[in-house]
Structure 1
Amino acid sequence: MRRDLITTLLLLFTTSLAFSQDFTITGLIMDSEEQPVVLANIILLTNTGDFIKGTVTDDKGFYMFKSVTEGEYSIAASYIENTVESPVFKLTKDMKMPTLRLNNAQLLDEVVVTHQKPKIEHLADRHIFNIENTALAEGDIWDVLKRTPGVMVMNNKLYINGSSKVNIMINGKRINLPEEDIINLLTGNSASNVESIEVITSPPAKYSAEGGLVLDIKMKKNLVSGYNGAVFNRYTQGVLPKHTIGMDHFFKGRKIDFSTNYSFSHNRNWARYTDITSFFEDGQESEQWTAEQKSVTKEKKHNLNVFLDIQLDEKNTLSVTSNGSFTPNRARRFSSQTAIEDLDGELTAQLQGLNTLDNDMFNSANYIDWVHKINDKGATLSTNAHFTYYDNKREQVITNDIVQGASVYTSENTLEVSSDQIINLYSLQTDLTYPFNDHTTLETGLRLATINSEAGIEQIGFDTAVEGVQPTEFGVFNYDEQIYAGYISLNNNWENWKMNVGLRGEYTDSKGELNTGVNTTTRSYFNVFPSLSVSYTIDKNAFYLKSFRRITRPRYGDINPFQFYYSANSIEEGNPELKPAYSDYLQLDYVYDKTYKLVLFASKKSNEQSQQVFQDNTANILRTQYINLETNYYYGLDASISKNLTSYWNLFFLISHYYDKDSFRDPGTGLIVENDIWTTHTRATNSFTLLSDKSLYADLTFTHFTPRISGNAKFESFSKLGLAFRKTLWNKAASLSLAVEDIFNNGNYNSTRNYLDQRNSISTRWENRLFVFGFRYKFGNTKIRDNYKRKNTDEGKRL
């Protein structure tokens, strides 16, 4: 062990190479008439039936697997409904397999899946949540994330290990969209195309240092040559109905893999809010404002995803990926009734407001990847080019009427707002992967990213005599940013030890400028970001150590210096002075028998960006704005179990107990305020596989939170219970799903801010209790699915 460690350190300064011994497997697939079978599916399996890699035969029935390490394997071949499998063999040199023959006169049974991936897999830097063969596979991707172990969704925000700074990736490609649009993208995509969710709790140096932890959504690929597809329909009933239809198409040839997914959603969403604020005058409470608000949103959105892989030759692969979302004529109606009372509870005034917001949103993320295989030992050179285009146009009309009484703090207004934000993101990255020997692989790369955001606004009808209202009548805010990055990391794999150690450096140059010349903000800074993941396994015991440093740069929409109005007395505004935030994280895991897990974690953050609500006691306005917290300390303990209790019952149970402390500067007084609490999070997911043919799946999920904090707010406890069923039909060609979300409707979020001269609360009531019905039908060549793991039977080895 010590010698290997010394060797690893020396490899940081040398390029001497010693390659591992890999072998090649070749063979032929013929039919019963001794004719070659073209485009037969060939799968390389371990001696326990686990999938290693796949390929297809050429026009002579020939197949080849390269770079296969020494071990015991078997070969499975299939064409349409015919399947044949070789006996298990031991690979110690290059091997030519005996010819396998597919019987074209007799249709053999479909390959039966008898061994599935565990629901939870623990790796040194991540855990993997496999959703195949669960009832969750028939929902949308956003619903699956809500149930993914280690992930929390609160107020439509994702949290991992208590951090809301989460990067969303699809097949390793980051989705560079605002949070709301990411939700739109994920709710429009069926989870049936997802193989697994990877929760990367210790991002390697290869990943951008931007943001917090990483969620990588791994989509299925197609191993079956030829064509197959599916159509699906999902109906959701809450207070208002929601409906999604879509289709999937997959094609695999000798050198081309192509898939596309399209969905159309017609959604109507409903929410109610109650804001209660005690405003102060001369340090004493003077009035209480109670606002009852209702939001109804109607939208029709289109989602389109395209994946194309082209095998140019044996050493070069070209991939094209495009994810797009278009939501035209999205309409939101936000009505409010506000009662103003004095200290004796006497009604002094009533306000009535209506906010109508219509917007068109379009975003498209496009990637081109080229991978060059340097040699047969696993060395590769890859290049990725990326372009994202985002456009959000908004037209808003706000009316505010004094229904009863009068108030010196407001007036009757009709406000008209037109705004548009266009964001262009470009990036270019190249990566080198180079194995030094059996134990150590070097990864290094460079990345260039450039961002341009142009936000324009026009606002008319404001009564500028009202103190605290400072609208930009006409303005354009331009933000430009360039990021230059480089990294180096070593992946080490010994018999019991695994270690990834890396270092990433990033230089950032940014400029934000308002055309009125009021504010120009420029920043240039360089930082290094170390990362370390270590695992040690012995017998049934596994130990993990994870440590990393991250940066969170301001989101483009959060730095726009404009005021957007919910009502005449409730404002959301940008903050061009937002600073980048930094976080340092340390975690220690112990896992026994891949089933029982204990985690100790600690985090320190500086300048964390957090959306906060503050009351302006001079203007009687609630202001919502992103600010930089001073510090955040977060540490605690997780205990979990992921276990098959019976042959049909899988249990995941988690209890997390942690301390959270936020320090922030009150904008009114400039004083530092601290907010802290101990919080307990409990989650239990029961997954069942029922009926003799294992065609009925059920998932029961319970989530509970005790009170928690976020910046200046304290949130009350809440809980949710959900139940989902999925039944496969017609030899698994079709499936029906039924689910009930938040059965007892206890998942609402209530928050309070009580400190200094702040006394306000917000009660949120969303459509939490949802009834979901879905249907999916698959067609085409679907007999063998990608990424299935299966176990060989003794009878099957005798074919």
Structure 2
Amino acid sequence: MYIKFFKYIFCFLSIFLCQEIVRSQVSSISGNLIDSNKTPLAFINALLYDLNGNYTGAGALSEIDGYFTIKDIPNGNYTIKFSALGFKEKTMENIIISTSNLQIELGEVTIFESSYQLESVDLIANKSILERKIDRTVINVSNIISASGGNAIDVLEQTPGISVDRENLTISVLGKNGINLMINGRMNYLPSDAIGPFLAGINADNIDKIELITSPPANFDAQGNAGFINLILKKGLDDGFNLNGNFSYGNGRGQNGLGNLNYNLVNDRFKINANYSINLNERKNLMWSIYRKFNSLQNNDESRILRNRNSSFNVNNLNLSVDYALNNKINFGTNIALFQRYFWVDSFSENIFNDQIANPDLTYRNAYDRRQSIQLNSYLNLKYEKLDVMVNSEFLKYNFRQPSIYDNSLNYNFQIPKNEIIDTSKETPSDVFFTSVDFKSNLKDKIILDYGFKIIGSRFENDQKVIKNNIEDLKFSGISKLDETVMSSYFSFESNLTDQLELKTGLRYEHTDSYVSNLVSTIVDRNYGNFFPNIFLSFKINDVNSINVNFTKRINRPSF
């Protein structure tokens, strides 16, 4: 009887292991794209379609050496289409992925250049997904089909060089934290920990392109080690008006919804754009366990943490812009942006040390945080024959509130558990304003000179309280204030030295006055200035390959 039982067990495990071995193999389609001269082709779109001609959402861009790989493809019969601006579209059909044929190598695939006779012919082509410029990389989001239906965080997660921490909604560029966010070329002065939640509320369908500026030129603020991310939002340019919207809804471990509504009104002189987006996310009964084991010469310790968590958040973004052209030389306008995020969490954790199941450490947490801001911007643009002048003025008011309650039952040295209730509250209002004047002069063909000045003022107050068992803990409670002013000026020179060699260089000076205090004393009182040089060189080898070299100096000031 036992022998028969173990036979069943053995058969079951054999089938299970076979399935896992097959499942562990990653399906892929790869190849090497070249032109008629055997030169590798970079940044060619390789998109995967099913038998019905529908795009599957899978695809890849060819690398500098022409190599591409499309991974994690379900079994089926597929067609690959290769396309890029300036090249004829190439189609390869009847590519079959199966359990016995998971990895397909296409070898060298030749893509031919396209030629057009532009005589009474309209030539329409889509931009490449990725464009490289002398001081930035541009991702054309409107050409990425898989970005539809997500939010800005989803798009950034697919962007080369950008890493997203989903749990904390933090963003790093090339492994560096401290990004600066721009919307339509205008700086967004939200605190760094609010940028992720803010982007989670922007619908990806409303983004035209993303500019990734890892080495900013002189006309950008010197603050931040990771550089800038500039989101260019879509705007209707045709005369008349249009209204469009979309909404998606799902239900798994809670309800999830994403919606967007966009309105445009355009005539010869007047432009109005209004956009509202909402993101709802709910997670119920999210459970996990953590096991740790510590070995030493004296003893071996083990701990197990069991957690159960319920959470939800909603993000709302409203943007309104109005632009009026007085004539072909003068236009002015204003932008209003409203942002609100509410996050709630209810969690319970149980910590068992060395199998002391009868006396575990218990923690119950109930908390929420609310972030909201209003941002007002006004501008005036003057255009002359060879000179553009842009005057900007902006005000941001931001508030962050985060109360939490911790109900703990702690077991010290396996004695009687100690119960304590910790009530924390934190409220952080801040104000930021700036005024800038920028000049752009076209000295002659292929020579551009930028110069200007800017003043930024920041006001910040942090009120934090920690109350243990109805008694305020003064060690962790207090009020701190920051008052900071940054004045800057810059110039930047850009020129095409030859048809292949491009130069951009500049110098920025910033003078900072920082004052930080609490109710008792002054903590920081600094007054200092810094120069920030930069230089960019780009050598164009051919239409798809170039060599870029740059040097920039940056500064990291204390974030608030």
Aligned length: 437
d(CA) in 2 for partners of 1:414, 1:365 = 38
Q: Per-residue deviation at 1:321?
A: 1.8
Determine the structure 2 residue equivalent to 1:389: 397
Retained in 2: the 8 A contact 1:512–1:522? yes
C-alpha offsets along residues 612-665 of structure 1, whole Å, 9 cap, x if unaligned?
xxxxxxxxxxxxxxxxxxxxxxxxxxxxxxxxxxxxxxxxxxxxxxxxxxxxxx
Using the alignment, how far apart are the partners of 2:538 and 2:152 within structure 1? Answer: 30
Shift of 1:454: 0.6
CA distance in 2, matches of 1:448, 1:493: 31
Match of 1:380 among 382, 388, 398: 388
- Residue 476 of structure 1 aligns with an amino acid whose one-letter code is I
Matches of 1:195 and 1:234 in 2, distance apart? 20
Identify the residue that residue 335 of structure 1 maps to in structure 2. 348
1:132 aligns with 2:136: no
- Aligned residue among 82, 100, 119 for 2:129: 119
Report what 2:163 is aligned to: 152
**1:164 positional shift:** 2.0
Matches of 1:333 and 1:346 in 2, distance apart?
Answer: 25
Quick one: percent identity of the two aligned structures?
22
Counterpart position of 2:275:
261
User: Out of 177, 184, 197, which is 2:190 matched to?
Assistant: 177
- Does the 8 Å contact 2:200/2:315 carry over to 1? no
From 548, 553, 559, the equivalent of 2:557 is: 553
TM superposition shift of 1:272: 5.4
Q: Deviations over 1:533-585 (max 9, x none)?
A: 111224445221122111122221xxxxxxxxxxxxxxxxxxxxxxxxxxxxx
Call closer, same or farther: CA 1:331–1:254 in 2, change over 3 Å: same
Q: How does 1:594-633 map to 2 (within 5 A)?
A: none
Shift of residue 287 of structure 1?
Answer: 5.3
Matched, 1:525 2:528: yes
Partner SS, residue 457 of structure 2: strand
User: In the alignment, which of 229, 245, 255 is matched to residue 259 of structure 2?
Assistant: 245
Q: Distance in 2 between matches of 1:286 and 1:470?
A: 35
When residues 331 and 533 of structure 1 are mapped into structure 2, their CA distance, relative to the original with a 3 A threshold, is same
Aligned to 1:158, the other structure's residue is in SS state: strand
Between the aligned partners of 2:540 and 2:314, the Cα distance in structure 1 is: 51
CA contact (8 A) 2:345 2:367 kept: yes
Q: Secondary structure at the match of 1:313?
A: coil
Name the amino acid aligned to 2:556: T
Q: 2:405 matched to 1:413?
A: no
Cα deviation digits, residues 705-731 of structure 1 (max 9, x gap): xxxxxxxxxxxxxxxxxxxxxxxxxxx
Contact 1:131 1:137 in 2 (8 A): no
2:547 paired residue number: 543
With over 3 angstroms needed to count, the CA separation of the structure-2 counterparts of 1:86 and 1:246, relative to structure 1, is same
Residue 214 of structure 2 aligns with an amino acid whose one-letter code is: T
Select 1:498's aligned residue among 502, 513, 518.
502
Tell me the CA shift for residue 225 of structure 1. 0.4
Contact 1:413 1:462 in 2 (8 A): yes
Partner AA of 1:503 in structure 2: L
SS of alignment partner, residue 551 of structure 1: coil
Question: Counterparts of 2:558 and 2:186 in 1: how far apart (Å)?
Answer: 20
Query: Contact 1:305–1:322 at 8 Å: present in 2 too?
Result: yes
Q: Which residue number corresponds to residue 103 of structure 2? A: none
The 2-side partners of 1:472 and 1:171 are apart by: 44
In the TM superposition, 1:712-723 aligns within 5 A as: none
Aligned to 2:241: 227
Question: d(CA) in 2 for partners of 1:286 and 1:407?
Answer: 20
Question: Secondary structure at 2:394's aligned position in 1?
Answer: strand
Distance in 2 between residues matched to 1:274 and 1:312, nearest whole Å: 64
- Alignment RMSD: 3.0
Residue 383 (structure 1) shift: 1.2
How far does residue 181 in structure 1 lie from its aligned partner after superposition? 2.8
Q: Residue 398 of structure 1: CA displacement?
A: 1.0
Unaligned runs of 5+ in 1: 1-47, 49-84, 89-111, 557-799
Q: Which residue of 2 aligns with 1:357?
A: 367
Alignment check: 8 A CA contact 1:222 1:257 kept: no
Pairs within 5 Å for 1:699-738: none
Normalising by structure 2, report the TM-score: 0.71
Separation (CA, whole Å) in 2 of partners of 1:146 and 1:295: 25
For the residues of structure 2 that align with 1:201 and 1:382, how far apart are their CA atoms? 24
1:506–1:236: structure 2 CA closer, same or farther, 3 Å change rule? Answer: farther
CA distance in 1, matches of 2:335, 2:152: 18
Q: Which residue of 2 aligns with 1:507?
A: 511
Letter of the aligned partner of 1:376 in structure 2? E
Q: Secondary structure at the match of 1:117?
A: coil
SS of structure 1 residue aligned to 2:507? strand
User: Is residue 340–residue 348 contact of structure 1 (8 Å, CA) maintained in 2?
Assistant: no
Among candidates 441, 453, 464, match of residue 460 of structure 2: 453
264-273 or 351-360: which moved more?
264-273
On the 8 A contact 1:411/1:463 being kept in 2, the answer is no
Residue among 179, 190, 196 paired with 2:209: 196
Q: Report if aligned partners of 1:317, 1:372 keep a CA contact under 8 Å in 2.
A: yes
Compared CA separation, residues 208 and 285, structure 1 to 2 (3 A) = farther
Q: Report what 2:23 is aligned to.
A: none
Residue 482 of structure 1: which of 467, 480, 485 is its match? 485
CA shift in 2, pair 1:462/1:286, >3 Å = farther
CA contact (8 A) 2:274 2:320 kept: yes
- Structure 2 letter corresponding to 1:411: K
Distance 1:509 1:269, change over 3 A: farther
Instruction: Return the alpha-carbon distance in structure 2 between the equivalents of residues 552 and 393 of structure 1.
Output: 25
Deviation for aligned residue 1:250: 0.7
